[in-house]
Amino acid sequence: MVACPSGRTLTPLQRIEGRRRNALVTARGERIWQSAIPAANVLRHVAATQFQIHQPGPETIELLYVPAGATPPDQTGLCAYFEALLGRSIKLVLTATDAIPRTPGGKHERIVSAG
C-alpha cells in the first residue's frame, strides 16, 4: 500500500496493459496504434467477425481471425496493405480460429506485438 496525500492508502498498479505491446512497429521504428488501422481496411481482405494482429518480430505479421462465412481471405491484398503500412516486406501468416483470446481482465486486444 502507498500513502496518498489525502490519507487514503491504495495498492500500486502492478502493470499497465497496452502502449508498447499494442502497436505495430514500422521499418523506421515508429509505432502504429490500432486507431490508425481501421478495422474496415483489414476486413476488406478477410471476412471475419473478429480479428487480432500479432507482430512477433519486425518482419512478420500474423492475423488471427474468426471466419465469417466461407469466403477465402485475400492474402496477397492484405500482405500489400501491411507492407505499405509498415514500410517493408513482411511475411503474413493467416490463422483462422474459433475465438480470439481475451486478456485476464476480459479486454480484446486488437494488436499484440513483441514490443
Give mean pLDDT, residues 97-107.
Answer: 91
Neighbours of 113 (CB within 10 A): 20
Residue 115, pLDDT score? 62
Is residue 54 within 8 A of residue 74, CB to CB? The reply is: no
More confident residue, 108 or 75: 75
**Is the pLDDT confidence value at 10 over 90?**
no
Q: Which of 6-10, 52-56, 75-79, 111-115 has the lowest mean pLDDT?
A: 6-10
**Is the pLDDT confidence value at 99 over 50?**
yes
CA 108 to chain centre: 9
Spatial separation of the C-alpha atoms in residues 53 and 33, rounded to whole Å: 11
**Is the pLDDT confidence value at 1 over 70?**
no
Q: pLDDT per residue over 14-69, tens digit each?
A: 545 445 578 999 988 899 988 889 999 999 999 999 999 999 998 999 999 999 99
In sequence order, what DSSP letters do the residues of 51-63 get, joined into one string?
EEEEEEETTEEEE
**Is the pLDDT confidence value at 11 over 80?**
no
Spatial separation of the C-alpha atoms in residues 91 and 60, rounded to whole Å: 5
Spatial separation of the C-alpha atoms in residues 30 and 78, rounded to whole Å: 20
| Structural domains in the chain, sorted by start | 21-113 (3.30.300.30)
Q: What percent of the chain has pLDDT over 90?
A: 59
